[in-house]
A and B are shown apart, each in its own frame.
Chain A
Amino acid sequence: MEIFKSVVILLVEDDPGDQKLIKKSLCSDRIKNELYTASSGEQAWEYLRKSKTDNEDIPMPDLILLDLNMPGMGGKELLKLVKADEELRSIPVVILTTSDADKDILESYELQASGYIKKPVSIDEFAVVMRDLSEYWFVICKRVSHVTAADKRCFVGGANE
C-alpha cells in the first residue's frame, strides 16, 4: 500500500465549473496527484496519443476520469478508442457524469469502463466521492505500469519489476 510516485490523472470534462470542483476535491485528498485536464474528447485523444511517446510533459495517465456528454467527440466514443488501442487499453477509465440513464450505464460497462459515478450535487459529497475513488484506485489497487522507452533502456537484461 505504498505510494512511490505521484498519481497521474487525466480529467476529460468540458464544464469549467465541474473541472474546478474536481480539481479542488482531488487537491484536498491526501494522495499526491498530477491532474491533466482536457476540455473535449478530441483534446483528450490528442493527449493520449502523445503520451505514448517518451515526452515527460505528457505522461501516460494512471486513471482517466471521463465525462460522457461533451460537444464533438463524446465520452463513449473516446472510451471506445482507448479500449481499442493496444498501449492505452490497460488504463482504467471511470465515467463521471450527470446522466444516470440505464442506457449510458450499460453501454459504458460494455465498453469496459471501470466504474460509473453520477456527479454529486454538493461540494461536500464531491469531496467524499473523490476520496473513495482515490482510495480504491491509488491505495489498494496496483497501478498499471507504463513501460517507457527510458524504462526499457534501464532494464535491459533484467526483469522490469
Chain B
Amino acid sequence: MNNSISLLTVDDDATDAKLIKHALAELNIECGFIHFIGYQDLLEYLRSPGFIMPCIILMDLNTPQMSGFEFLEIIKNDPIFRRIPAIVLSGSTSLTDVNRSYSLGAAGYMPKPGDYEELKNMLGIIHKYWFVNKLPAIY
C-alpha cells in the first residue's frame, strides 16, 4: 500500500478504527484511510463520483443493519465493485464464517487482533502483501 491506495474500513466501533489509524501512522504506512460505521455509508461512497480506486476494504462481519455477508454479496455481484479486494477482519473464528466469506469472494479472513501490538503486526503484514500486489487502478 502506498499513498495512492485507499484503505476503507467498516466497523461500527469507532475505537477500533481509531486504533487502526494510529497503528498505520506508527508504522509509517502512507495510504488513504476512510472509516465507515456501516455498509450503507460505504456503498454510498462507492457509488459517489468522489470514489477513488485503487482501494482495499477491511471489513467487519457483524454490523447492525447490513451484515458483512450481505455486503460481500452486493459488491461481488456488481460488475465494477467486484474488482475491489475485501478482507474480513472478524471476532468470529467459526469455520462456517471463514468458508462462507471466502466463497463469497473475500480476499482474506483474519481474526480481530487481541491487542494493539498484534494489530500493528497484522497491519504490517497486510501492507507488505498488498504493496507487492498490483491493483486495478482505474475504470
Contacts and interface: CB of A to CB of B under 8 A. Distances in A.
Interface of A: 89-92, 100, 102, 105-106, 109-110, 112, 114-118, 129, 132-133, 135-137, 139-145, 160-161
Nearest to A114: B107
Measured as residues with beta carbon below 8 angstroms from the partner, the interface class of chain B is 20 to 34
Given A90-B103, A117-B133, A139-B125, 9 more contacts: A90-B102, A102-B137, A105-B137, A106-B83, A117-B134, A135-B128, A135-B129, A136-B108, A141-B109
A102 B137 CA distance: 8
A145 B99 contact: yes
Contacts, number: 88
B93 A112 contact: no
A4 to B, nearest CB: 13
Interface string B3-16: 00000000000000
Contacts of A145: 95, 98-99
Contacts of B79: 110
B110 interface: yes
Nearest to A113: B107
Given A105-B134, A116-B134, A141-B110, A136 B99 contact: no
Contacts of B132: 117, 129, 132-133
Interface of B: 76, 79, 82-85, 93-95, 98-99, 102-103, 105, 107-111, 121-122, 125-126, 128-137, 139
Sort A-B residue pairs by CB-CB distance and give the 7 closest, nearest first: A136-B129, A90-B102, A109-B83, A114-B107, A132-B128, A145-B95, A90-B103
Contact of B82 (A91, A112, A161): A112
Nearest to A87: B103
Contacts of B126: 136, 140
Given A90-B99, A105-B134, A132-B128, A142 B111 contact: yes
B85 A115 contact: yes
A90 B139 CA distance: 26
Contacts of A129: 132
B117 to A, nearest CB: 12
B125 A115 contact: no
Contacts of A143: 98
B72 to A, nearest CB: 11
A132 B125 CA distance: 7
A100 B134 contact: yes
B127 to A, nearest CB: 9
Contact of A112 (B105, B129, B137): B105
Contacts of A92: 102, 107-108
